[in-house]
Structure 1
Amino acid sequence: MAAATASRRTIGQLLKQGWNEIPEVIASTGMALIGVAVGFYACNKYEKENGDNRRYKQTYVIMRPDDPRVKLIRKD
């Protein structure tokens, strides 16, 4: 009978018990998840906006003026 009541515990109850017993671990886990989410968003945004422009700086690249990649080149 004890196993049946233990299995009916909700996630909220487990988080509350964890916060009472080990608040450092629960807080750091939450902060780590937020950090991973922000890092994923930043990497995704960096890739979408063509943030890596080094490939044009290492070697000479000749492009035609009507090439759509020309507008992405920056003179950093």
Structure 2
Amino acid sequence: MATVAKGGLVALFKRGWNEIPEIIGSGVMAVIGVGLMGLSLMTYTAKDGDNRKHKMKYTVIRDDDPRAACVRSGIDG
């Protein structure tokens, strides 16, 4: 079992970078990708990204529903 010796995690990272740079590099890119995905998901939900313009089934939204302000107008009926 590997233990973190003198130098801590920085030394372990440097040793990994010297021995297997492809794995360390792809791991860093994966962490960045997961972080960007989380940030995008938070932005999507904060800006009401689930308000789809076209839906597959008919939906009735009453005037007192808070989602009514987000729905596009312009459909006569």
1:7 is displaced (CA, Å) by: 4.9
Give the direction of change, closer, same or farther, for the CA distance of 1:7–1:52 in structure 2 (3 Å limit). Answer: closer
C-alpha offsets along residues 28-63 of structure 1, whole Å, 9 cap, x if unaligned?
A: 100000000001111121122121224972222223
1:64 is displaced (CA, Å) by: 3.1
TM-score, normalization: structure 2? Answer: 0.71
Name the CA distance, whole Å, in 1 between partners of 2:15 and 2:4. Answer: 15
Unaligned runs of 5+ in 1: 1-5
Q: CA RMSD in A?
A: 2.4
Unaligned runs of 5+ in 2: none
Matches within 5 A, 1:41-52: 41-52=39-50
Q: 1:8 aligns with which of 5, 9, 20?
A: 5
Matches within 5 A, 1:1-76: 7-9=4-6, 10-54=8-52, 57-74=55-72
Greater fraction helix = 1
Name the CA distance, whole Å, in 1 between partners of 2:65 and 2:59. Answer: 12
Give the direction of change, closer, same or farther, for the CA distance of 1:48–1:7 in structure 2 (3 Å limit). Answer: closer
Q: Answer 1 or 2: higher relative contact order, Cα 8 Å, separation at least 6.
A: 1
Name the CA distance, whole Å, in 1 between partners of 2:4 and 2:20. Answer: 21
TM-score, normalization: structure 1? Answer: 0.72
The count of corresponding residues between Structure 1 and Structure 2 is 70
